Amino acid sequence: MLSYQHAYHAGNFADVHKHLTLFAIIDHLLRKKSAVTYIDTHAGRGLYPLAAEETARLGEYREGIDRLWQARALLGNAPLLDDWLAAVERVQARSDRLDHYPGSPWWLSDRLRAQDSLMLFELHPGEHGYLARQVMPDNVQRIHSDGLQGLVKRLPVATPRLCVLVDPSYERKAEYGQVAKAVLEAMRRARHAVVLVWYPLLPAGHHHELLEELRVGGLRKIWRSELRLREAAESERGMVGSGMLVINPPWGLESRLEAAMRQVTPLLGATCRYRSDWWVGE
Ligand SMILES: C[S@@+](CC[C@H](N)C(=O)[O-])C[C@H]1O[C@@H](n2cnc3c(N)ncnc32)[C@H](O)[C@@H]1O
């Protein structure tokens, strides 16, 4: 059963972490002319009006994108963050007011070149319906089916380069293992792919299973980036942080993102902490 809807969480601190990482990776990939296939295994709606009932109800964006939006004039020298915020500005109805937040399909399609292609998988019929109504270039396919199975089936791809975002809702604990299995199989079929895997930091620590399975599965070059809002209080069950693994990160990505995250972290609160390291080296 699919009950998760990203609209309740759009623009929160985890989206900021995830989409800034995605934006930086796309930036690096665009430095070369050769074509890229992008695959988003769990796409969601694509664009989120902040006044929508679901998004306004929890208002999580107020502790996420809104903090950066309010601070954007005061950031000083912040090359990556400035570019990212300028992109966020482009989806607003008015440039002086934050009223929309772009999801991963928007980030991936925004700078898609004629030689590139993008596959967006979304299993939830309602969410896929929203996605299907977004205006997107012709080289974007919106596929209403399971993203992990779809990813594996479509590999290898015809283009010289491949970039994959795996961003499930982890509604079921079994998903951590399923993600690990699909990523290992995808890497067997496309060894040079750049793969981003998002995971929540929960007090229960379910993500350790995912990280460990990728490590023992024999993958190399896995960079880990984690943004923790606070230490979990006793008996707390909700998400306290956001994690990203980047397999085969483009050269120079880590230092650029670390610099941007050092500027983002204090804006998200006094207890917020960032760390990055190599989960598995060369
Ligand atoms: C965390 S949200 C994705 C957010 C999106 N990647 C973004 O950054 O804007 C997860 C999405 O995956 C969808 N979903 C859940 N299981 C799926 C599956 N097996 N295959 C494809 N999509 C799935 C959910 O309906 C939900 O829209």
For every residue of 168-210, DSSP letters joined together read: ----STHHHHHHHHHHHHHHHH-TT-EEEEEEEE-TT-THHHH
What is the average per-residue pLDDT within 125-139? 96
- Decide whether any atom of ligand 1 lies within 6 Å of the 216 Cβ: no
Residues 6+ apart with CB under 8 A from 219: 183, 184, 187, 247, 280
Which of 238, 219, 220 has the alpha carbon at shortest distance from 228? 238
User: Rounded to an integer, what distance in angstroms lies between the CA atom of residue 15 and that of residue 176?
Assistant: 19
pLDDT digits (tens, 9 = 90+) for 178-228: 999 999 999 999 999 999 999 999 999 999 999 999 999 999 999 999 999
Which of 154, 223, 225, 146 has the alpha carbon at shortest distance from 186? 154
What is the average per-residue pLDDT within 118-124? 98
Tell me the pLDDT band of 157, cut-offs 50, 70 and 90: very high
Instruction: Map out the domains of the chain with their CATH numbers.
Output: 6-280 (3.40.50.150)
How much is the pLDDT for 142?
A: 98
Going from the Cα of 73 to the center of ligand 1, the distance in angstroms, rounded, reads 33
Going from the Cα of 108 to the center of ligand 1, the distance in angstroms, rounded, reads 15
Tell me the pLDDT band of 149, cut-offs 50, 70 and 90: very high
Residue 167 has pLDDT above 80, yes or no: yes
Say how many residues make up the chain: 282
Going from the Cα of 142 to the center of ligand 1, the distance in angstroms, rounded, reads 13
Query: Looking at this protein, which amino acid is placed at residue 242?
Result: S
- Decide whether any atom of ligand 1 lies within 6 Å of the 45 Cβ: no
Active site residues: 167
Percent of the chain with pLDDT over 70: 100
Ligand 1 atom nearest the C-alpha of 102 is: 9
pLDDT digits (tens, 9 = 90+) for 29-76: 999 999 999 999 999 999 999 999 999 999 999 999 999 999 988 888
Which of 100, 81, 83, 74 has the alpha carbon at shortest distance from 7? 100
- Decide whether any atom of ligand 1 lies within 6 Å of the 147 Cβ: yes
User: Rounded to an integer, what distance in angstroms lies between the CA atom of residue 241 and that of residue 176?
Assistant: 16
Tell me the pLDDT band of 146, cut-offs 50, 70 and 90: very high
- Decide whether any atom of ligand 1 lies within 6 Å of the 213 Cβ: no
- Decide whether any atom of ligand 1 lies within 6 Å of the 100 Cβ: no
For a ligand 1 pocket test, name from 19, 123, 145 the mutation site with the most ligand atoms within 8 angstroms of its C-beta. Answer: 123
- Decide whether any atom of ligand 1 lies within 6 Å of the 54 Cβ: no
Query: CA dihedral in degrees (101, 103, 105, 111; nearest 10)?
Result: 50
- Measured by CA distance, the residue closest to atom 1 of ligand 1 is 169
Residue 1 has pLDDT above 80, yes or no: no
Residue 234 has pLDDT above 80, yes or no: no
Residue 22 has pLDDT above 90, yes or no: yes
Phi, psi of 34, deg, nearest 5: -60, 145
Which of 123, 130, 205 has the alpha carbon at shortest distance from 168? 123
Distances (CA, A) of 237 to 54, 69, 158, 200: 21, 29, 43, 12
